[in-house]
């Protein structure tokens, strides 16, 4: 193969490889934004007692572990979480206490991890893409004292 053909082949390889990487990064950015939105909707549903929104954010196999000091670890199913939202469990919080910081920690294909920090607790979440939508699959929550 002569130098010109080799240079042309290398140029095509680099062009298509860089284009593919740019496309992957864009998709990843879109997915990261969707993950962030899902987590934000989750906490806003809790704060406002919006059971329908809560139900849309969680995976059918949702499960939560709550860790609070020396208290035994408590568990919560998706159905229990939706009922907690429906009963207004989070609505007693003042507007000042209804803040959140969402960080997307990592993404790999159709799974992601995120961190949600509020004034009273921190949630570490695993999300899964289900039928094209990000859903919260599991949560480990540390409740502050």
> In the chain, what's the furthest Cα-to-Cα distance?
75
Per-residue pLDDT tens digits for 90-138: 999 998 889 999 999 999 999 999 999 999 999 999 999 999 999 999 9
Contact predicate 102/114, CB 8 Å = yes
Q: Which residues of 48-62 are buried (b: 16+ CB within 10 A; e: fewer)?
A: ebbbebbbebbbeeb
Q: What is the mean pLDDT of the segment spanning 54-81?
A: 97
pTM more than 0.85: no
Other Cβ atoms less than 10 A from the Cβ of 101: the count is 9
Structure tokens that stand for 100 in this block? 């959140």
């Amino acid at each position: 193969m002569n130098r010109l053909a080799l240079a042309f082949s290398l140029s095509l390889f680099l062009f298509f490889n860089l284009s593919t990487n740019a496309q992957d990064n864009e998709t990843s950015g879109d997915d990261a934004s969707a993950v962030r939105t899902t987590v934000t909707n989750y906490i806003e549903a809790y704060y406002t007692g919006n059971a329908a929104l809560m139900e849309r954010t969680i995976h059918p196999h949702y499960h939560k572990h709550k860790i609070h000091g020396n208290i035994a670890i408590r568990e919560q199913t998706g159905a229990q979480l939706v009922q907690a939202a429906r009963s207004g469990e989070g609505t007693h919080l003042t507007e000042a206490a209804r803040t959140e910081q969402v960080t997307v920690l990592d993404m790999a294909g159709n799974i992601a991890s995120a961190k949600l920090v509020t004034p009273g607790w921190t949630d570490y979440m695993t999300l899964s893409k289900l039928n094209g939508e990000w859903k919260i699959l599991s949560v480990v929550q540390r409740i502050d004292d």
